[in-house]
Amino acid sequence: MGKVLVVGGGFAGLSAATALAEAGHRVELLESRNALGGRVYSIPSTESFPAPCDNGPHLLMGCYHETLRLFDRIGAAEPFRWIDPLKLSWLLPGGQKVSLNCAPLPAPFHLAFGLLTSNAFPWAEKIRLAKALSAFSQQPFHLASGIITVDQFLKVTGQGPAARERFWLPICNAVMNVGPEEALIAGLGQVLHRVFFGNRRDSALAVTTRPLSELGFPQGIAYLKERDCSVLFGEGIQSFQTDEKHFQLTSRTGKKFTGEALIWAVPPSSLLALWPQGTWPALQEVPRLGKSPIVSVNLILSLPVIDQDLVGLSGAQFEWVFNRASNWGWKGEGQYLSLVASAAEKLARGTEKELVDLAFGELKDRCIKAREATVLHAKVIREMAATFRWSPGSDALRLPCETPYPKVFLAGDWTATGLPATIEGACLSGHQAAEKTQAALEKIE
230 band by pLDDT with thresholds 50, 70 and 90: very high
| Residue 366's CATH number | 3.90.660.10
Q: Is residue 335 domain-shared with residue 270, that is, in the same domain?
A: no
56 band by pLDDT with thresholds 50, 70 and 90: confident
% of the chain surpassing 70 pLDDT: 99
Residue 72 lies in a domain: no
**Torsion angle of the four alpha carbons 232, 66, 131, 124, in this order, in degrees rounded to the nearest 10:** -60
What domain range includes position 435?
3-40+215-289+392-444
Instruction: Give the N- to C-terminal CA distance of the chain in Å, as an integer.
Output: 8
Look at residue 334 and tell me whether its pLDDT is greater than 70: yes
pLDDT value at position 442?
A: 86
What count of other Cβ atoms lies within 10 Å of the Cβ of residue 193?
19
> Region 213-227: what's the mean pLDDT?
94
Q: Is residue 338 domain-shared with residue 421, that is, in the same domain?
A: no
pTM over 0.85: yes
Task: State CA 105 to chain mean position distance.
Answer: 27
> Region 159-187: what's the mean pLDDT?
97
Residue 436 lies in a domain: yes
Bond preceding residue 108 cis, omega within 30 of 0: yes
Look at residue 78 and tell me whether its pLDDT is greater than 80: no
* Residues linked to residue 101 through DSSP beta bridges, in sequence order: 87
For the chain, give the mean pLDDT: 95
Does residue 310 contact residue 59 with C-beta atoms inside 8 Å? yes
Look at residue 164 and tell me whether its pLDDT is greater than 80: yes
pLDDT value at position 2?
A: 77
Residue 431 lies in a domain: yes
Look at residue 1 and tell me whether its pLDDT is greater than 80: no
Longest dimension (CA), the chain: 69
346 half-sphere exposure, CB direction, 13 A CA radius: 4
List, for residues 116-147, the tens digit of each pLDDT value: 999 999 999 999 999 999 999 999 999 999 99
Residue 87 lies in a domain: no
Specify the number of domains making up the chain. Answer: 3
**Axis-axis angle for helices 217-226, 11-22 (nearest 10):** 30
Does residue 80 contact residue 208 with C-beta atoms inside 8 Å? yes
Which helix (H) or strand (E) element contains residue 87?
strand 87-91
What's the count of helices (H) and strands (E) in the chain, helices before strands?
13, 20
> Region 164-173: what's the mean pLDDT?
97
316 CB-near residues (< 8 Å, 6+ apart): 362, 365, 366
> Region 41-65: what's the mean pLDDT?
93
> Region 67-96: what's the mean pLDDT?
92
Residue 12 lies in a domain: yes
118, exposed or middle or buried, with CB in 10 Å at 0-12, 13-18, 19+?
middle
192 band by pLDDT with thresholds 50, 70 and 90: very high
Q: Is residue 156 domain-shared with residue 182, that is, in the same domain?
A: yes
pLDDT value at position 214?
A: 87
> Region 227-233: what's the mean pLDDT?
97
Look at residue 403 and tell me whether its pLDDT is greater than 90: yes
DSSP β-ladder status, 310-313 and 87-91: parallel
Q: Is residue 266 domain-shared with residue 222, that is, in the same domain?
A: yes
Look at residue 286 and tell me whether its pLDDT is greater than 90: yes
pLDDT value at position 57?
A: 83
Q: Which of 402, 412, 437 is nearest to 262 (CA)?
A: 437
pLDDT value at position 443?
A: 80
258 half-sphere exposure, CB direction, 13 A CA radius: 8
> Region 353-372: what's the mean pLDDT?
98
What count of other Cβ atoms lies within 10 Å of the Cβ of residue 297?
26
pLDDT value at position 58?
A: 84
Please state, in angstroms and rounded to a whole number, the distance separating the CA atoms of residues 285 and 397: 7
| Residue 401's CATH number | 3.50.50.60
Q: Is residue 175 domain-shared with residue 141, that is, in the same domain?
A: yes
pLDDT value at position 171?
A: 95
Please tell me the least confidently modeled range out of 20-24, 74-78, 185-189, 438-442: 74-78
